[in-house]
Structure 1
Amino acid sequence: MLKCIACGFEQPTGKFCGDCGTKFGETNAIHNTRRTLPSPTEPNPHLEKLKMQAKAYRSYFLRQLKKPALAYEQGENGLANGLTSILLLGILVTLSLFAALRPSLANGFLSFFGGAFIFTLFAITIALIALFATTSSLGPQQSIKTILSLYGAYLPPLLIGATVSFLLMVIKSYTYGHLLLSLVFLFAILLVPLYLLSALILKNPTTIDPFYIFIVYLITYSILFSLFIILIADSAIGEYFSELLYWFV
């Protein structure tokens, strides 16, 4: 729109003002050009923060993939990235399960996703509770934040494995997809916590023989996991994981 600087009348086009007849000159052009220039938009602070966090996690992921033991130098400082890895693993495992069970599912995606995601996180939480209880009672004592940070630091290879498993399920290569998902799950809930326990004992020796610390951990974990399986045995997820665990018996 053109605006007359003499009377303020606005019109879409023309060389003269339709109200007072003033000629639109250079002053008007400058005035209207300034009016039509879009004001610079400020960046969304939440989006910028999300981008920074994603960039920081990418660096963390590559660093831990290359050398997971660096997590011991960070301690609790790696908690945020460790939790992100745990959540990502839960999401990827859940997506793989959905892709595998989709032909036989009666419920929708959101209903299944919520249940399977909570199941995966609970299975991981049981392993971490057993690890925390063992180290707290028999040593070496570690805070729950440190355990979460260390556990998450060893997950990048499992995240890659879970991603590949999901892709295999999507292309209906179920045999290899099931096998890879089983290995990822086994490492996540059993072997990684066992390795962490070994590493913590080596770095912080205790007066109790490590053999007995391992026994206490395995007993604690077995009891908690057995109770967990009993609780979800009648669900579709429980039946699926019973089938997966059968492969290792």
Structure 2
Amino acid sequence: MLVCSNCNNHQEDGKFCGVCGGALKQALSEEQFNGSIEQSGVSSANSGAAALETQAQPTATAIKSGVSQYWSYFLSLFKNPTRAFQSNEKHYLNGLITLALYAIIFSLSIYFLTNSLMRSFGGFFGESVPFFALVSRLAIAVIITFVITFGSAFAMIRFAKNQETFKTIIAQYGSIIVPFTALNVVAMLGGLIGSYQLTFIPLVISVIFTFTFVPVLFVFEKVSNINKNGQKVYLSLATIVLISLISYILGDALLSSLVEDIEDLLYYVW
């Protein structure tokens, strides 16, 4: 079978098309045509797979690199928390991640311990505590407390005329929380094995230092850098007063419903 290259007319024989007079060429057989389509399809599929793989590789590499960099950052500050005050805007995201991890790991510690205790009371197949309901409420409560304590510290250092950017201050504040985030990890392991002491002792220490001593220490250090003869003692103590005042005023509005929900969830355990 011959086919015209101009008008695609098919005819059995001849050198020129009987319709338009164009040159004729041999038409592809059905097997050749199908083979051409299959080859084109395979080539297209391979190209698509290669493109997806090429796109996935940089993403996976970026994630791996980010995790590695954060781990190095975390380990460095765990060994020497004083380096937190050397953090700058480049560490802003790391600071936020640390604050978020603190809240999440704290919440998981309580959840795992509660779940372990419920199973011990009701047998291995005993009823478990709703994961999201408890963890989300605990995490929100911790985040609100962070907002109050950091906000008070930020107000004091701004009152002392600190000129650093908000991102730098967040980076440094988050960095100084690293050791207490690690302490929460110990508490979480205690919760997993159902150890009351190994969960609550680290958590109590972590909470006291994170929400009481750290804001005071942070303000003292920042004010000292501004003026060594400045009112660093009074401003540090004023931080605690401001935290207490804000907690008293806003605590009922922001935390009371959360605390009630948490108490309802933990009623049969605690």
Query: TM-score under structure 2 normalisation?
Result: 0.68
Gaps of 5+ in 2: 1-28, 120-126, 265-270
**1:213: which partner in 2?**
235
**2:54: which partner in 1?**
42
**Is the alpha carbon distance of 1:147 and 1:159 closer, same or farther for their aligned partners in structure 2, counting shifts above 3 Å?**
same
Give matches, 1:101-140, under 5 Å: 101-102=114-115, 103=118, 108-140=130-162
* SS class of match (1:168): helix
- The one-character-per-residue Cα deviations of 1:81-131 (angstroms, maximum 9, x if unpaired) are 111111111110010121233439986211222211111111111110000
Give matches, 1:97-246, under 5 Å: 97-102=110-115, 103=118, 108-205=130-227, 208-231=230-253, 232-233=255-256, 235-236=259-260
Distance in 1 separating the partners of 2:261 and 2:212: 19
**2:64: which partner in 1?**
51
Distance in 2 separating the partners of 1:163 and 1:85: 12
Query: TM-score under structure 1 normalisation?
Result: 0.73
Distance in 1 separating the partners of 2:80 and 2:64: 24
**Residue 132 of structure 1, CA deviation:** 0.8
Query: In 2, are the aligned partners of 1:116 and 1:237 still within 8 Å (CA)?
Result: no
**2:106: which partner in 1?**
93
**Residue 236 of structure 1, CA deviation:** 4.3
Kindly provide the amino acid, as one letter, of the partner of residue 97 in structure 1.
I
Distance in 2 separating the partners of 1:226 and 1:106: 34
Distance in 2 separating the partners of 1:228 and 1:110: 25
Kindly provide the amino acid, as one letter, of the partner of residue 170 in structure 2.
L
**Residue 192 of structure 1, CA deviation:** 1.5
**Residue 177 of structure 1, CA deviation:** 1.0
**2:5: which partner in 1?**
none
Percent of aligned positions that are identical: 20
**1:246: which partner in 2?**
none
Distance in 2 separating the partners of 1:152 and 1:78: 9
Q: How many residues align?
A: 217
Query: In 2, are the aligned partners of 1:201 and 1:210 still within 8 Å (CA)?
Result: yes
- Max Rg structure: 2
Distance in 1 separating the partners of 2:251 and 2:262: 7
RMSD: 3.2
Query: In 2, are the aligned partners of 1:127 and 1:189 still within 8 Å (CA)?
Result: yes
Kindly provide the amino acid, as one letter, of the partner of residue 224 in structure 1.
I
Query: In 2, are the aligned partners of 1:81 and 1:152 still within 8 Å (CA)?
Result: yes
**1:67: which partner in 2?**
80
**Is the alpha carbon distance of 1:63 and 1:237 closer, same or farther for their aligned partners in structure 2, counting shifts above 3 Å?**
farther
**Residue 213 of structure 1, CA deviation:** 1.0
Distance in 2 separating the partners of 1:131 and 1:194: 7
**2:32: which partner in 1?**
8
**Residue 186 of structure 1, CA deviation:** 1.6
Distance in 2 separating the partners of 1:101 and 1:230: 25
**Residue 215 of structure 1, CA deviation:** 2.8
* SS class of match (2:54): coil
Kindly provide the amino acid, as one letter, of the partner of residue 42 in structure 1.
T
Distance in 2 separating the partners of 1:176 and 1:114: 22
**Is the alpha carbon distance of 1:220 and 1:86 closer, same or farther for their aligned partners in structure 2, counting shifts above 3 Å?**
same
* SS class of match (1:8): helix
Query: In 1, are the aligned partners of 2:224 and 2:230 still within 8 Å (CA)?
Result: no
**Residue 168 of structure 1, CA deviation:** 0.5
**1:80: which partner in 2?**
93
Gaps of 5+ in 1: 12-30, 241-249
